[in-house]
Amino acid sequence: MKKIPWAAIVAITMSFLALIPGQAQDAAITVTGEVHNATAGSETPDGLLITLHVYSEDKLAGTYEVEADETGVFRFEGLPLNAGDLLIAATTYSGVTYTSASLAYVPGQEIQDLAIAVYETTDDPRQVMITQMTVMLNASGGQLWVGEYYLLGNLGDRTWVGSYDAELGLATTTQLSLPAEADSLWFSGAGLGDRFLQDEGLLLDTAPVVPGYPSAEVFFSYAVPFTAEQEFEKAFNLPVENIEFLVAEDSGISLQGEGIAYTETIDTETGTALSYIAPGLEPGQVFNFKLGTQKALGTGKGWEVGIGLASLAAAGGVIYGLFRGKQKVVLPKAADPILLEIAQLDAAYDAGKLRKGDYIQKRRRLMDVIKDLAR
């Protein structure tokens, strides 16, 4: 059977939607923008390929491509937009993808120019740090459930791309420790094989850290057996500015460690949490903390299996935790050819036909398409 190209599927889908009543579109809408190099003393590259993603009712409705001119200006003409559509422009420069802020299309109003800042790259991490580390703890049924949330910041004007690993065939950036007995590992967003690698008790992040404060976030959760006295050891290749622990109040967990101090009790949508803070860390500095039991293990109401997504907001230096359970995602039929391509890619890697670095990068790009379709 002849395989229909993905671009053709998108085009057919867009044409079909245009025929459905209620999908009224404004004709010949033009969207303009500019890409510029925000690294001091650097010139804006000529002829960058700009991709425009159009989202309608939280789903990807169309993708368009043009080249920017020698000054960085780009134009998308004749776009079939609906009221409320969100527009996001993206480009890749020196192997790193950069995006604009999202804009909403409102008929009758002038569309603002889309602006994309790109940066030169560096392998020097001295301007990069973990601005916030939050560890969430709960116990249930003899298991300790741990959620770890990190905000990454880059105070420089160059994107940190990390150090190249010849064995892996790609560069890695942030290093996060993981207990050897960790089970039920789950990531918010791209996980193992897409963004992260697991190596000898470490999670290695392959994502570059672009300038910004903060500029990126990481959240993952896992479970380990909970014993009467349990010690954790953590060290990072980046400095850590702020450390906080959120402990489920009814979990029966006690927390000890040098410099760890109780601050307050926080009410969240999933229960009450005890908040503790600890001093920041220098790169390579080892941080130890110990867990014990204050009373019989609680049931972990609302926080039991898989802590899930953390939505954390900073207000006056206080972090509030909000936990949600994992949600089942149903993909549309249009995802089938991408899933098939991912399966073929996995088979090629398992057969030794691809280097690990090439495999991860290609799989990540395909997973980005899947995530767009799942919105």
Which tens digit of pLDDT belongs to each residue from 331-363?
A: 555 565 566 666 667 677 767 777 766 666 677
**Average confidence (pLDDT) over 64-87:** 93
Tens of pLDDT, residues 6-49:
344 334 334 433 443 444 445 578 999 999 999 999 999 999 99
Of 73, 60, 56, the residue nearest 22 (C-alpha): 56
Q: Please tell me the distance from the alpha carbon of residue 95 to that of residue 161, in angstroms, as a whole number.
A: 9
For 193-230, what is each residue's pLDDT tens digit? 788 988 888 899 999 999 998 888 899 899 998 887 88
pLDDT attached to residue 108: 85
Phi, psi dihedrals of residue 71, rounded to the nearest 5°: -95, 0
Instruction: Write out the two tokens for 324.
Output: 């949600």
pLDDT greater at residue 115 or residue 269: 115
The whole-number pLDDT of residue 307 equals 28
What class has domain 128-324?
Answer: mainly beta
Cα–Cα distances (Å) from 312 to 84, 161, 259, 304, in that order, read: 27, 26, 23, 19
Query: pLDDT at residue 137 above 50?
Result: yes
Lowest mean pLDDT among 97-101, 118-122, 143-147, 224-228: 224-228
> What pTM was estimated for this model as a whole?
0.71
Please give the CATH topology (third level) of the domain spanning 23-119.
Answer: Immunoglobulin-like (2.60.40)
Q: How many CB atoms lie within 10 A of CB 176?
A: 20
pLDDT tens by residue, 46-65: 999 999 999 988 788 899 99
- Whole-number Å distance between alpha carbons of 141 and 189: 27
Q: Is the dihedral angle over the CA atoms 225, 230, 231, 237 positive or is it negative?
A: positive
pLDDT of residue 372: 63
Run of H or E including 230:
strand 230-234
Give every CB contact of residue 84 below 8 A, 6+ residues apart in sequence: 56, 57, 104, 105, 106
Tell me the per-residue pLDDT of 153-178, one tens digit each, with 9 for 90 and over: 999 999 999 988 887 788 999 999 99
pLDDT at 1: 38
Which residue stretches of the chain are H helix?
A: 6-19, 336-350, 356-374
- Outline where DSSP puts E strands in 57-167: 59-67, 73-81, 86-93, 96-99, 103-104, 114-118, 121-122, 128-140, 143-154, 159-160, 163-165
CA-CA-CA-CA torsion sign (244, 248, 253, 254): positive
Question: Is 80 exceeded by the pLDDT of residue 120?
Answer: yes
- Cβ-contact 191, 326 below 8 angstroms: no
pLDDT of residue 251: 82
Edge-to-edge strands, sheet with 26-37: 73-81, 26-37, 114-118
Q: What is the pLDDT of residue 338?
A: 65
Average pLDDT value over all residues in the chain: 78
For position 202, what pLDDT does the model report?
A: 87
Residue 316 burial (CB count, 10 A): 4
